[in-house]
Amino acid sequence: MSVWGKIAGIAAGYAIGGVPGALVGGLAGHFALDRVNDRQIIFTIAMISLAAKMTRADGDVSPIEVQAVQDMMRVPEAELKNMERVFRLAQEDVAGFDAYAKQVAEIYADSPQVLEDVLDVLFYIAYADGVLHPAEQQFLEIVADIFKINVSDFKRIQARHDGSVVDPYAVLGVGRHAEDDTVKRAWLNAVRDNHPDQLQARGMPLEMMHIATARMASINEAWENIREERGL
C-alpha cells in the first residue's frame, strides 16, 4: 500500500470512530520520529491538516488554494482521492485549527526547525492565489505563536513569499545595518538549514523538494543583492 493509502486508511478509521481533533496526533501515533519515512508521513499529515484548516480561514474554500495543496504535495494522479480524503476529514473536523497546531507543536517540540518548515509551506499555500487575506494572516500569526516562532522569524519566513517585500535583509533575518560578517553568517546558516538533505532528514517528503529549491533560490538571491549593494 502507498504512503497515501496508509494515511487515508488510518484517517478513515478515526473518522468512523468519531475521534474529533485526533487526526494529527492519532495518525502520528502509528509512526516513529526516528525513521525518515515515518517522519515524512507525519510531516505530510501535519501539512495537509493545517492547510485544510487554513483554506477555510477566510470563510471561502478557494479552488486555487486547494489546487496549491495538490501541487505542493505533488500528489500522483492515482493518489488524489486518498489525499482529498484526508483533506476533507481535517476540513470537516469540529476541532479548531489551534487544536491541530498544538498537536503539531507537541509532536515537534524538540525540532523547532521543522515547525518553521511547516509555517513556511503554509505561507506558500496562502500566497497561491496572489493575495494573503487578513484572516489567513491572522491564522498564520496564531499558528506561529503556538509554534513559539517569534515575530522577527515570522517576518523572515513571510518575506520569502511576499512579492511586495523587496528587502533581502528581511529574507535573511538581519538588520540593514548589520556587519558584513553577520550578514554572511546569516546567509550561510540559512543555506545550511535549508539544504534539501537537511529538509529531507527533518521529514519533508521528496515530493515537496521543489519548495526547498524555491526557498534556496530566494535565500541566494537575497545574498547576491546584498553583495552587490555592499560591493562584497
What are the C-alpha distances in Å from 158 to residues 32, 36, 122, 218?
Answer: 30, 27, 10, 12
Residue (of 203, 212, 211) closest to 39 by Cα position: 203
Cell of 32: 516513529
Q: pTM for the complete prediction?
A: 0.75
**Which residue segment(s) compose the domain that 23 sits in?**
3-230
- Please compute the mean of the pLDDT values over residues 167-184 and round it to a whole number: 90
How many residues are there in the chain? 232
Q: What pLDDT, in 10s, does the model give residues 200-217?
A: 777 777 767 777 788 888
Q: How many CB atoms lie within 10 A of CB 33?
A: 15
Distance, in Å, from the CA atom of 156 to the CA atom of 168, rounded to the nearest integer, reads 10
The three three-digit cell numbers of residue 136, written as one number: 489567513
Question: Mean pLDDT lowest for which of 5-9, 31-35, 172-176, 203-207?
Answer: 31-35
- Count of the separate structural domains present in the chain: 1
What is the per-residue pLDDT across 60-89, written as a single tens digit (0 to 9) for each?
A: 666 776 777 777 777 777 777 777 777 777
